[in-house]
Amino acid sequence: MKHFKTAYKKRKSHEELPVGDEQGNILNFFHKAIRLAVTILAGLMVLVIFLGVFQVVFVLFQKLTTPPYLILSVTDLLSTFSAFLLVLIAIEIYINISLYLRSDVIPVKLVVATALMAISRKVIVFDFKYLEPSYVYASAAVVLALGVTYWLLDKKETNKHD
C-alpha cells in the first residue's frame, strides 16, 4: 500500500524540485497557499468573463439603438469583434487556470494557443493608417514565432502518440 501512496505523490508533484521530509511541511503549506491563490484567480477570471459579455451586449445594444438605427460602421464592427475576441481570450485563460489546478502542470500548448489568439486579435483590429511599419513587422514576427511554436508542440504531441 505504501508503494501506491508514493507513486501517487510522485504523479502529483513536480520532479524538478524533490522535497525532503524536513522541507515537506513548509513546502506543502506554500503549495496549498499557491493553489488557493490560483483558485481565487480562477474565480476572478469568471467574473471578468461575465463582465466582458455584459460589456459586449451593452455596447452592441448602444450602437444599434443610436441613429442610424440597426447600422454598424466598420469601426463599430471592429470594436465589437475586438470585444468578442477579448472575452474568448479570457475564457482561454480561465481554461489554462483550471487545467493547472487539476494537474499542477502548465499546459504549454494551450498557453501558446492563447498567446496566438491574443496577438491575432490585435492584428485583426489593426488600424493601418496609424501604425508604423516596424510595429506591423514586429507583430508579424510574433505571429510567425507563435505559429511555429504551436506547430512544433503539436508535432511533438503527434509523434508521442504514434
How do residues 85-101 score in pLDDT, each as one tens digit? 889 989 988 988 888 88
The vertex-79 CA angle with 113 and 109, nearest 5°, equals 5
Task: Confirm if 114 and 89 have CB atoms less than 8 A apart.
Answer: yes
Using CB atoms within 10 Å of the CB of residue 112, give its burial: 0 to 12 exposed, 13 to 18 middle, 19+ buried: buried
Assessment of whether the complete model's pTM goes beyond 0.85: no
Asked whether the predicted pLDDT for residue 33 surpasses 80, the reply is yes
Among residues of the chain, what percentage have pLDDT more than 70? 85
* pLDDT value for 1: 53
